[in-house]
Amino acid sequence: MGKGGMSLGEGSKIEEENMAAWLVGINTLKIQPFLLPSVGPHDVRVRMKAVGICGSDVHYLKTMRCADFIVKEPMVIGHECAGIIEEVGEEVKHLEVGDRVALEPGISCWRCNLCKEGRYNLCPEMKFFATPPVHGSLANQVVHPADLCFKLPENVSLEEGAMCEPLSVGVHACRRAEVGPETNILVMGAGPIGLVTMLAARAFGVPRIVIVDVDDNRLTVAKQLGAHGTVRVTTSLEDVGFEVEQIQKAMGSNIDVTFDCAGFNKTMSTALAATRCGGKVCLVGMGHGVMTVPLTPAAAREVDVVGVFRYKNTWPLCLEFLTSGKIDVKPLITHRFGFSQKEVEDAFETSARGSNAIKVMFNL
């Protein structure tokens, strides 16, 4: 497992009792003690100050699994996080006690061919916060490699630092799809990942963005954040043809790249049909583990399908976007909770309910 921590009975106890939110069963979270490993020479100990709830966290809570990852024993939840350094390892030179940092949650092996190629996000030995069996970061403190902790500029808050994790998904997707000032894009889904993908695309210079969703409230938020056009869609596959016409009309020109930030049969079918000949569809969301979609017509139009899994080397660019003001993630944080048993339960209920909740944030 990664440096995130150990379950009770392992490791050495630090001066004060460290508490964390443990997923112990379906719809059951409990705040319990969480013992940390000692700080190694290249590690830091971080007091968590801001932790966001991700859709994957909700999946684990509701079903004890997300895609092929299955929770088989109690696990500390959470991976979108930022905090303040309280201890540094003896070999750490670029960080000091008191620094505010955003944490990249995945620890790769740095030895496999994928890591050596720079595609460490695909490392088969990846140890990622709150991905079983690795514990997460919704805790008072965690221990983490210093090279995965990024110092926050003075004008970037701890909450914004925690938002670097979901924003990284959008940045990585934009890089994978190679968007730029000559790329018109469609975003399927106006949830947190769809919205950060839209914000990232704007920062990359995309001239026109249309976003679709089944929820009017989220489309209103997307419009406020800079979407040039919005289209309300249904969940019925029978409506794909009509909705593609509406989407293309809203764009007013060719759709060069579509980001499917939901990952359902319906959204992917719409994405493939709406994208121009020779364009790209970037699959970001993982709503369905297995999809049935019309690939043959898309292949006949040479529509490329690009996969996205997490991110790589994105925190510096995310912080640059936040520092410069090219991206403002603050409007996405709609709900805030403290770190008590009741507040943890209420926060996850709020996030799972969706609707007017976009990003739910813990302030520890």
Above pLDDT 70, what percent of the chain? 95
CA atoms within 13 A on the CB side of 203: 27
Q: What is the mean pLDDT of the chain?
A: 94
Whether residues 237 and 189 share a domain: the answer is yes
Flag whether 206 is in a domain: yes
Whether residues 175 and 205 share a domain: the answer is yes
What's the full length of the chain, in residues?
364
Inform me whether the pLDDT recorded for 208 exceeds 90: yes
Whether residues 186 and 255 share a domain: the answer is yes
Give residue 5's pLDDT: 53
Domain count, the chain: 2
Whether residues 146 and 175 share a domain: the answer is no
Flag whether 63 is in a domain: yes
Full 3-state SS string of 33-80: ECECCCCCCCEEEEEEEEEECCHHHHHHHHHCEECCEECCCCEECCCE
CA-only gyration radius of the chain, Å: 20
Whether residues 346 and 284 share a domain: the answer is no
* Residue 194 belongs to domain spanning: 169-307
Under 8 Å between Cβ of 190 and 197: no
Flag whether 313 is in a domain: no
Inform me whether the pLDDT recorded for 71 exceeds 90: yes
Specify the residue for token string 């890089």. Answer: 175
Give residue 67's pLDDT: 79
Whether residues 129 and 224 share a domain: the answer is no
- Give the lowest-confidence range in 10-14, 45-49, 349-353: 10-14
Flag whether 323 is in a domain: no
Whether residues 106 and 43 share a domain: the answer is yes
Flag whether 88 is in a domain: yes
Inform me whether the pLDDT recorded for 77 exceeds 90: yes
The domain spanning residue 110 has which CATH number? 3.90.180.10
Flag whether 33 is in a domain: yes
pLDDT tens digits for range 211-221:
999 999 999 99
Give residue 288's pLDDT: 82
Average of pLDDT values for 167-192? 97
Average of pLDDT values for 55-83? 93
Predicted TM-score (pTM) above 0.85 = yes
Whether residues 60 and 125 share a domain: the answer is yes
Q: What is the DSSP string of 310-356?
A: S-SS-HHHHHHHHHHTS---GGGEEEEE-SSHHHHHHHHHHHHH-TT
Average of pLDDT values for 103-129? 97
Whether residues 202 and 288 share a domain: the answer is yes
Whether residues 339 and 273 share a domain: the answer is no
pLDDT tens digits for range 19-51:
999 999 999 999 999 999 999 999 999 999 999
pLDDT tens digits for range 277-321:
999 999 999 888 788 999 999 999 999 999 999 999 999 999 999
Cα 42 to the chain's mean position, in Å? 26
The domain spanning residue 277 has which CATH number? 3.40.50.720
Whether residues 28 and 146 share a domain: the answer is yes
Flag whether 312 is in a domain: no
Flag whether 220 is in a domain: yes
Give residue 15's pLDDT: 54
Under 8 Å between Cβ of 167 and 239: no
